Amino acid sequence: MKYLIEATLVKNSGAPVHWQRYSDKMLSKQDCLKMLSKCD
């Protein structure tokens, strides 16, 4: 089973960006936030 992770990234310098990723395992909210913080 694949899990879909979705987020809307909002930066001060531009328009919101919709982000999606599939994962083989279920992630906690903390795991998702850690992964998204690398998208800078």
What is the number of domains present in the chain? Answer: 1
- Give the per-residue pLDDT at 40: 52
- Note down pLDDT in tens along the chain; length 40 residues: 899 988 888 888 889 989 898 999 998 989 888 877 766 5
**10/34 Cα distance (integer angstroms):** 16
Q: Could you tell me which residues are beta bridge partners of residue 23? A: 3
**Residue ranges making up the domain that contains 8:** 3-37
> If you compute the radius of gyration of the chain from its CA atoms, what whole number of angstroms results?
11
pTM of the model: 0.59
